[in-house]
A and B are shown apart, each in its own frame.
Chain A
Amino acid sequence: MGSDVDRVDLIIVGGGLAGLACAIEASRLELAALVVERGDRTGSKNVSGGRLYMAPVRPLFPDGFFDDAPMERAVTHEQLVLLSPSSSLTLDFTSEAFRQGPPSSFTVLRARLDRWLGEKVEASGAFVVPQAVATELIRENGRVKGVRAGDEELLADVVVAADGALSFVGREAGLAGPLEPAGCALGIKEVIKLDPARIEDRFALLPGEGCARLFLGDITAGMAGGGFLYTNTDSISLGVVIPLDDLAGRPADARGSHELLDAMKERSEIGPLVEGGEIVEYSAHLIPEPGPDRRPGRVADGLLVAGDAAGLVINHGITVRGMDLALASGVLAARAVGHAKKAGDAGAATLSEYERLLAESFVGKDMQRHAHVPAFLERRRLYERYPAAVCEIVEGLFEVGPDGKQRLYPRAARLVRKTLLDMDTLSDLWAARKL
C-alpha cells in the first residue's frame, strides 16, 4: 500500500459495515482502498436496530479479528412479546448453548462499532476520507472510473457503492430505480441510558449478557411492523419498525410517526423497563426490505454494490438481519475486485465474480431461502389478529373469576373457532409453508 491516493484499486462509498469490511479485506488482499465517508468519522451517520449476528460472519475474517470489537452484550435471551390492546404474552427463551463458544449475536451501537472498524481500516493501510459526500460518479466510455466528492475527483479501477439504504450511487448507476415506499421500512429508535446493574436486574441477565425482545401486535397503531428492545452495556435501544406503505396510507390527522415510541412506553409492559432511564439519542433510518422482484442490481462496469445499498436485508419476522449480510458482502466485493485486478479487467463480466461469491456464501443462500418472507409479512392478520387471539386464549388459562374457574377446553375451542379457524387463517398457514 503506497501513499498514492490519486489512483487506487477501489473507492468505497460509505463507511458503514459493508464499506469498512470491504476496505479491511482489500488491504488483506494488498489492494489500495479508499473509503469516502460523509460523516465526521465512520459511524457518525449510521444507525441500526442494534443486533449483529456474528456466527455467519466470523469465517470471513481472520481469526480473532472481532475479539476486541466494542460489542454491547452477547444475546442470551430471545424474547417475543405478543400484544393485544389490553394484554400481552411474553416468551423468554434462553439456552446454555448461548453461553458456549463465541456468541452467535451481540447487541451493538453503530457509532462505537463503526468507529472501531474505521480505525482497523486505517491500521490496515487503507484510507478513510471523512466529511466527504460522493456526489457523482465519474464515467469514461460508460464505465465507472471514480467518484466526485465536492471539488475532488477520486479515481479507481472499481467503485464499491456501500452507501446504504438510500444509495444515490447505485441509483445514479441505474442499478436501482427511484426510492419508493414499497420494500422500505422506517426504523425509529431511542437510546435510553440506564445503569448496567439496573439493566441486569430488570431483565434478569448475568453480567455482560443481554436480551433481544421483539414486540408484535398492538404496538404499531394498526400498521404492519413491530417493536424492539435491545439491552446494551449501559443503555437500552427501544425502537419501532413500520413499512413505509403503511405509514403513507394513514389519514392526514393520524398521529405523527414520532409519537409511536411514546405510545410504546405507555404500555404497562414497556414503561417500567425504561423507567429511570434518560434518552440520550433519537434516531431514524430506512431499512430496505425489497422482495425478490425489487432487488437492485449489484454489478456494472467498474461498479459493485454492497450491504443495504444492494438490498441485502432479511426480515424474517423474528430475526431481522442486515449487518451480517453487509459485512459479508463487503468482504466478497473486495475479493471480486482482487479477481478483476488479476484479470486486468474491471468490466461487469469480470466483476460478476461478486455474484458468484455471493451466491455460494450464506448471503446468497439466505436471500434465496427467505425470498418469500417479505410477501408473507404483508399479511395483516399477523399484526391485527393472531397476537391478540393468542393473548385471549392464554388469558383463559390463568383466569379465576367470581364464579370460579371455567373449563379450559370449551373456551379455547370457541376462541380458536372464532378467531383462527377460517379461510384467512388457512390461507396464511398455506403461505407459511414457504417460510
Chain B
Amino acid sequence: MKRLSIEEKLAMDAIKPQAEPHIRLDAGKCRECALKPCLTACPASLYTLDPGSGDVKLEHAGCLECGTCLALCPADLDWSYPAGGFGVQYRHG
C-alpha cells in the first residue's frame, strides 16, 4: 500500500476550516517549555518548530479536535472547539 504523508491523509478528511484559530499558543510559554510534547504527540502533526525563530507554530486548519495537545500541554493551552459547523466532519468515524 502506498504510504501517504500526513498532509495527504488529512486531505482525505472533510474539514471545514475556521478562519479564526480555535487553539491559541502563547509564544512565550512555548519558548520556555522544555518538553514541547505537542511536536510529536499531535496525530495530525500540526505543531512544528519554526526553523528560523525556533518558535512553535500551529497549523490549526487540519485539527482533528482530539484534545491530545490540550491534555499534554504543560501550560494552560487556550483550546476550544471550532464554532458550530466548522472543523472536521467525519464521514466514516
Complex Cα–Cα for A193 and B66 (A): 23
Assess A254 versus B40: contact at CB under 8 Å? Given A265-B1, A279-B9: yes
Give min CB distance, B5 to chain A, whole Å: 9
CB-CB nearest in chain A for B3: A262
- Please indicate which of the listed interface residues A252, A274, A276, A283 has the most CB atoms of chain B within 10 Å of its own CB: A283
Q: Quick check: is B25 within 8 A (CB to CB) of the other chain?
A: no
Instruction: Find the residue from B10, B36, B72 having the highest chain A CB count within 10 A.
Output: B72
Interface residues of A in 206-248 (CB under 8 A from B): 235, 244, 247-248
Whether the Cβ atoms of B90 and A281 lie closer than 8 Å is: yes
A46 and B72 in contact, given A133-B81, A150-B84, A276-B1 (Cβ under 8 angstroms)? no
A181 on the B face (CB < 8 A) = yes
Give chain B residues whose Cβ lies under 8 Å from the Cβ of A109.
Answer: 92-93
A257-B40, A274-B1 as given contacts; A45 in contact with B12, CB under 8 Å: no
Interface size on A, residues (CB 8 A): 60
* B13 CB–A CB distance under 8 Å: yes
Which chain B positions have C-beta within 8 A of A186? 41, 43, 66, 68
Contact B68 A47 (CB under 8 A): no
Contact partners of A111 in chain B: CB under 8 A: 90-93
Determine if B12 and A282 form an interchain contact, defined as CB atoms under 8 angstroms apart.
yes
Judge if B30 is at the interface, Cβ distance under 8 Å. no
- Collect the chain A residues with CB atoms within 8 Å of residue B9's CB: 190, 258, 279, 282
Are B84 and A180 in touch, CB under 8 angstroms?
no
Asked whether B90 lies within 8 Å of A247 as measured between CB atoms, the reply is no
CB pair A40 B93 closer than 8 Å: no
**A252 and B39 form a contact (CB under 8 A):** yes
Q: A252 touching B72 by the CB < 8 A rule? A: no
Q: How far is the CA of A248 from the CA of B69 in the complex (A)?
A: 10
B68 near A286 (CB under 8 angstroms)? yes
Taking a contact as CB atoms under 8 Å apart, the answer to whether B90 and A38 are in contact is no
Interface range, B side: 35 or more
Is A244 touching B1 in the complex (CB atoms < 8 A)? Answer: no
**Interface 1/0 per residue, B53-73 and A, CB below 8 Å:** 000000000001111101110
* Closest Cβ neighbor of A36 among chain B residues: B84
- Are the C-beta atoms of A39 and B45 separated by less than 8 Å? no
A131 within 8 A of B: yes
Per-residue 0/1 for A270-312: is the Cβ within 8 Å of any B Cβ (1 yes, 0 no)? 0100111101111111100000000000000000000000000
User: Is there an interface contact between B88 and A271, defined as CB atoms closer than 8 Å?
Assistant: no
Q: Is A256 an interface residue (CB 8 A)?
A: yes
Contacts of B23 in A (CB 8 A): none
Q: Distance (Å) between the CB of A16 and the closest chain B CB? A: 10
By secondary structure, the B interface counts as loop
**Docked pose: A133 CA to B80 CA in angstroms:** 10
A191 within 8 A of B: yes
In the assembled complex, the CB of B71 is this many whole angstroms from the nearest CB of chain A, namely: 5
Q: Cα distance A255–B39 when bound, in Å?
A: 10
Chain A CB within 8 A of B51 CB:
no
In the complex, whether B19 has a CB less than 8 A from a CB of chain A is no
**Across-interface contacts of A244 in B (CB, < 8 A):** 41, 68, 71-72
How far is the CB of B6 from the nearest CB of chain A, in Å? 5
Please give, as numbers and ranges, the residues of chain A lying within 8 Å of B35 by CB-CB distance: 248, 252
Which residue of the partner chain B has the closest CB to A242?
B41
CB atoms of B85 and A131 under 8 A apart: yes
Residues of A within 8 Å of B13, CB to CB, are: 281-283
A132's nearest neighbour on chain B, judged by CB, is B84
Q: How distant is A276 from chain B, measured CB to nearest CB, in Å? A: 7
| B93→A258 contact, CB < 8 A | no
* A19 CA to B35 CA, complexed, in Å: 37
Knowing A179-B71, A186-B68, A258-B43, the reply to whether A277 touches B84 (Cβ < 8 A) is no
Measured between beta carbons, the chain B residues less than 8 angstroms from A150 are 83-84
Q: Which 8 A-B pairs rank lowest in CB-CB distance, beginning with the nearest?
A: A110-B93, A111-B93, A131-B84, A131-B85, A284-B43, A282-B9, A284-B66, A191-B92
In addition to A45-B65, A168-B81, A284-B44, 13 A-B residue pairs with Cβ atoms within 8 Å of each other are A38-B81, A44-B90, A45-B88, A109-B92, A110-B90, A132-B84, A168-B80, A184-B71, A186-B43, A247-B72, A252-B36, A256-B41, A285-B66
Q: A residues near B, CB below 8 A? A: 38-40, 43-48, 109-114, 130-133, 135, 149-150, 165-166, 168, 179-181, 184, 186, 188, 190-192, 235, 244, 247-248, 250, 252, 254-258, 262, 265, 271, 274-277, 279-286
30 contacts between A and B (CB under 8 A): A40-B85, A45-B65, A45-B87, A109-B93, A110-B92, A135-B80, A166-B67, A168-B80, A168-B81, A179-B71, A180-B71, A181-B71, A244-B71, A244-B72, A247-B37, A252-B35, A254-B40, A255-B40, A256-B40, A256-B45, A257-B41, A265-B1, A277-B1, A281-B92, A282-B64, A283-B13, A283-B64, A283-B90, A283-B92, A284-B68
